[in-house]
Structures are given as C-alpha cells and as structure tokens.
Amino acid sequence: MDIFSMDDLKRLVEGKEGPCVSIFMPAHRTDAEQSRIRFKNLCGKAEKMVAAMETDDLDVDEAMKPARRLLEDQDFWQHQSDGLALFMSDQVFETYRLPITFEEVVVVTGRFHIKPLLPFVSSDTRFYILAASQSRVRLFRGTRQTIREMEPEGMPKNLSEALKYDDPEKQLQFHTGTGGSGGKRSAVFHGHGLGADDAKDRILRYFREIDRSLSPVMRNENSPLVLAGVDYLLPIYQETNSYPHLLEQCISGNPDEMGEKELHDKAWDLIEPLIKKAQTDAAARYHDFVGTGKTSKDLKDIIAAAVGGRVAVLFVAKGVQQWGRFDPERGTVEFHRVPEPGAEDLLNLAAVQTLRKGGEVYVVGQEKVPENAAATALFRY
C-alpha cells in the first residue's frame, strides 16, 4: 500500500495475538535488488527475534512464510518508494511503501511498533469538502495524502433535482453584486415570475436538502467540513448548515471547474494551520499545568497513565528510543540500554496506549517537546 492514514494506524494499535513483527527500512526507487537484499537481511534478524521469544506452540517457519513470499515477489520490489514498513502477526500482514526514509528497525514484541509512522500521520487530520453549485453537488473525504468522493444516500445531484416538484416554469438566474457587510459580495437574484425572496427561498430549500443528506454521514464526526462554492452561495449555505464543524473559511470559486486535486490542495491550505495551532495550543496547555500534578516527564508515570486512559496529550521526541519492558500485571517498568528479546520501545508503548484510549500524540523534534524531555504528557485528571 502506498497510503497510510490515521485509520490504518489505529487498526494496527489494536490488540493482536502472538508475536508482532515490525520492520522499517529505507528503500530504493531504482534499485530493486538492493531493497530486496536489505529486506532479506532484516527478515533473518526478525526470525531470530521471533525464535528467542520462546512462545508455546509457535512455529517460527510458519510465522515467517508471508515475509519469505514477499521476497520472491519481483513486481513488488520493482515498485518501491523511499521507505518500506511491514507489519506481520498471526492476524496481520501489511506493507506500506511510503515517501519517507526510515532508519532500519526490527522489533518483535506483543504489539506493533508504530512510532516511526507517527510523524507521517500526526498531521493527518481527516476532513470533508462539500463542493456545491446549482448544477452539481459533490462530497469528498480527505486526509493529508488522500481524497475520495462519497455518495451520501439522498443527496440531490443539483438544484433541479432537489426542487423537482416545484413549478418547472420558474427559472432562476444569479449574478454577483458588490457591497454587503464586512466587504462580502451579496447575491443578486433574477427570477422569471419570482421576487428575490422567492429565489433565495428556493436556494435555501436546496441547501437544506443537502444538509439533511449529510446528517447521517457526519452524525458522529468532529472533522472539519470545508465548503467550496461561488461567493454569493456560500453565506446562504452557512445559513442552512447544521454541522457544528463547518469552517468559516471557504474555497471560493466555481467548484464545477475544480478537479479533485485542486479541491484537495485548496482545502489543505485551510486545514494545515488548524493542525499547527492545535499542537501549539497543546504545548501551551502543558506549560499551564506544570506543577499541578496534571503533567509529567517521567516515563514510568506516563506509561501507567496511558495504560489507565489518563493521558490527554502525549509529546514524544522524534528519533529517540527507550527500550525496556512493561509488566501489565504488576504495573512495573524496567529499562534496558539496548534492545533485548521481548523488549520494546517504551515510547512506542506510551503512544500506542494513548491512541487506543482516545488521546492525542505529537511526535516532534526533542527541542519542541515540553521541558526538552524524551516524552511528556498532559493528564486528563
């Protein structure tokens, strides 16, 4: 797979059975054999680590079969990106070819090692784009990397379909006038046999039909919704909107003339500053609570709080590992200087548990971690 999203990440952090093998490596777009040889060497290392776990009834050869089959897939190795990530367990075998370079890492523990991917998805906020005109309506779901058109049940294709039971002789023409409060251009309506109030009423009813069709899709969402449309229709839609996370900023212009990529790029220009602000605000909240018992830079405290669902925000230093073991029965943590069989990166453990319990995780340069620690956490209570 060449796309990795926050949804993929959350699926990987769910509980798995048996040893979980995680392999990260740099890849070569033009040298398939070098990538394949590197992967073969890392698989050999992973096999030894799986065997060292000494899990009852574990067939090491059987566990490594999917990786060996991948080694023989010539087409796979001919189509690489800058980095390769692989996740393998009894229940999972997934590969991701991604445009970022990974350091070589092999981890075999009871959960997947996902920390190298966190910088890739920490800004991967999901958002929606509603591209609406009189002649066409489209809804897209996007992330930083992706955009996909959706087809909500009951959404009208255009104004005519939404108002198909109205008088077919009534026709509307619109043009953009000037003026209006706040420097916004106001709508001027021309209707054959209609007044301006009647014309606007038809548009309102059209947009209410759109809003109604969005409700089942957006009911449990808190993702931003970006509206794309010509200037004079935008305030009318905002008047009918019932979704609480509609952005005030819009994509201005005729959306019928914009393809998916242009809509995605313009929407991301509005979404990215929100993500950066959220991270800045989270760091400010951490500093506000220092000394109150609601923050910590002690990794033992952070892991215990993450497992207990108390971590609201976790900051982790990019490129830093802290190897060790966590005993969930006793709630104890031991630290290792180097990776050992069965050991894991405890920063990864803190991140996994925080994500599983609905917290936020930011992977940043250590200089941007509050108090310049390997990890810091803001607790819910």
Confidence bin at 134 (pLDDT 50/70/90):
very high
168's tokens: 């077919």
- Give the torsion sign (CA, 156, 265, 319, 33): positive
Cα 12 to Cα 269: distance, rounded to the nearest angstrom: 29
327 versus 297: the higher-pLDDT residue is 297
Strand pairing report for 344-345 and 323-327: antiparallel
Confidence bin at 126 (pLDDT 50/70/90):
confident
| pLDDT > 60? residue 350 | yes
CA 247 to mean position of chain CA atoms: 18
Query: Of all residues in the chain, what percent carry a pLDDT higher than 90?
Result: 53
Query: Of all residues in the chain, what percent carry a pLDDT higher than 70?
Result: 88
What angle separates helix 346-356 from helix 6-13, to the nearest 10 degrees?
A: 110
Task: Say which residue the tokens 């242009």 belong to.
Answer: 262
Confidence bin at 198 (pLDDT 50/70/90):
confident
The whole-number pLDDT of residue 200 equals 80
Please say whether the beta carbons of 129 and 140 come within 8 A.
Answer: yes
What average pLDDT score do residues 202-206 get? 90
| CB-CB neighbours of 239 under 10 Å | 12
Contact partners, residue 66, CB within 8 Å, separation at least 6: 88, 93
HEC per residue, the chain? CCCCCHHHHHHHHCCCCCCEEEEEEECCCCCHHHHHHHHHHHHHHHHHHHHHCCCCCCCHHHHHHHHHHHHCCHHHHHCCCCEEEEEECCCCEEEEEECCCCCCEEEEECCCCCHHHHHHHCCCCCEEEEEECCCCEEEEEECCCCEEEECCCCCCCCHHHHCCCCCCCCCEEEEECCCCHHHCCCEEEEECCECHHHHHHHHHHHHHHHHHHHHHHHCCCCCCEEEEECCCCHHHHHHHCCCCCECCCCEECCHHHCCHHHHHHHHHHHHHHHHHHHHHHHHHHHHHHCCCCCEECCHHHHHHHHHCCCEEEEEEECCCCCEEEEECCCCEEEECCCCCCCCEEHHHHHHHHHHHCCCEEEEECHHHCHHHCCEEEEECC
The whole-number pLDDT of residue 318 equals 87
Among the listed residues 381, 375, 368, the one whose alpha carbon sits nearest the alpha carbon of residue 314: 375
109 versus 131: the higher-pLDDT residue is 131
Per residue in 274-326, pLDDT (tens digit) is 988 989 999 999 999 999 999 999 999 999 999 999 999 999 998 888 999 99
User: How far are the Cα atoms of 189, 356, 359, 362, 379 from residue 282, in angstroms, in the given order?
Assistant: 46, 19, 12, 9, 12
| CB-CB neighbours of 342 under 10 Å | 16
Instruction: Encode burial over 107-146: b for 16+ CB neighbours within 10 A, e otherwise.
Output: bbbbbbbbbbbbbbbbbbbbbbbbbbbbeebbbbbbbbbe
Strand pairing report for 20-26 and 137-142: unpaired
Least confident of 46-50, 173-177, 192-196: 173-177
pTM over 0.75: no
User: How far are the Cα atoms of 38, 95, 221, 237 from residue 60, in angstroms, in the given order?
Assistant: 20, 20, 43, 59
Most confident range (mean pLDDT) of 57-66, 164-173, 189-198, 258-267 is: 258-267
| pLDDT > 90? residue 231 | yes
